[in-house]
Structure 1
């Protein structure tokens, strides 16, 4: 076993010190340089859209993923096969392709279906453009990530010792109570770390919504650079904002993993 001082030196996050130093230096450049400050002021308006797309899309993806995981573990073969079909098809599509397909194929089809129902009720038809591109993007990210999150939930639920489930059944707990009090509280310890990684991945993939013209950080960066021709400063700030979000989330996730394992932070 290594001496405590040597072990601590080996485990010390020097990469984080280097990243923090680089970040502070770059932040100083942003605050002291007028061109950088103007770009940051413009791009910061897209930060709310990026966070809204990520949080809303990820919440919907988690709900859909949990339902898909439960369908995969169902006793009914039709449910299992339908869930597996959805998961394999969606996971086989690139997120960008799925985004375009949802926005320009599925969304118009949904509007047409709604208009068919409204026509039967004697209501006025709605237009495809009444379905905002922002919500089309959120729908696409939710569908894309739900397939991956479903596998995370499925693996976590299957990691719970089957003997405990049988013991709860012997005590007279029904399926919902077994899931709520026995299975899910234990599975969540396995599920949370990979779920956190998927959340960080969605923060980065949310930049793809710029292809639809959604005014997130990336789209505002493209518009700003095209207007002032300061590509170097603009995309430095874009990268800085994404790195700040993802590195911060990664550190929080690592701390959560340590806490769940009973180790000091």
Structure 2
């Protein structure tokens, strides 16, 4: 039996996508949630007795207390690593479409960069208020990751941000969050920052220049160039909120 602390403000997705309730998430609350979730993942990866990969970081698994402080919930899919392990392989693919990195979908490889990828998707959702199960752009054929990358590349990041955060003083902070998020969702796990680096970048605790993101994973245009290879009878570019799991006792 798992006993959870009662979280009266439900989960992050309850507010993030609602046209009225999203206004309760001002920038101060959003940046607090972003930094707290990053710190939580950092603890799981670096400071707990075992390296823990959550495997299902998403808005509905971020619960909010009385003061809108976030708590990471639902560890039913979590995996443990020994401190000297870097990655592992599995044939049992679990997670939520849209938050799962490409190396896991294609080869069943998972590492600490799995949760980095999921956090990047979540970060894009928090600053934009947009779902990753919808398509965007002029012709509505770009997924959330590629849409954000196209706007960032063209210097039009302001068009991506949630309209409720319409404050010119936030522009630099939002662009920084957007750039960090895009680094987290890179195709190659080696191109993604560690959670230590992510936390420092978000807190602006490093003097190093932020790297320039490449085209993100699950890019529609790249997948078309690769003839949209089927993975397990599902195309790689598929993005939605459905959970991938097998019904087994645990």
Give the shorter-chain TM-score range. Answer: under 0.3
TM-score (norm 2): 0.27
The structure richer in strand per residue is: 2
Larger Rg: 1
The structure richer in helix per residue is: 1
TM-score (norm 1): 0.26
RCO higher in 1 or 2 (8 Å CA, sep ≥ 6)? 1
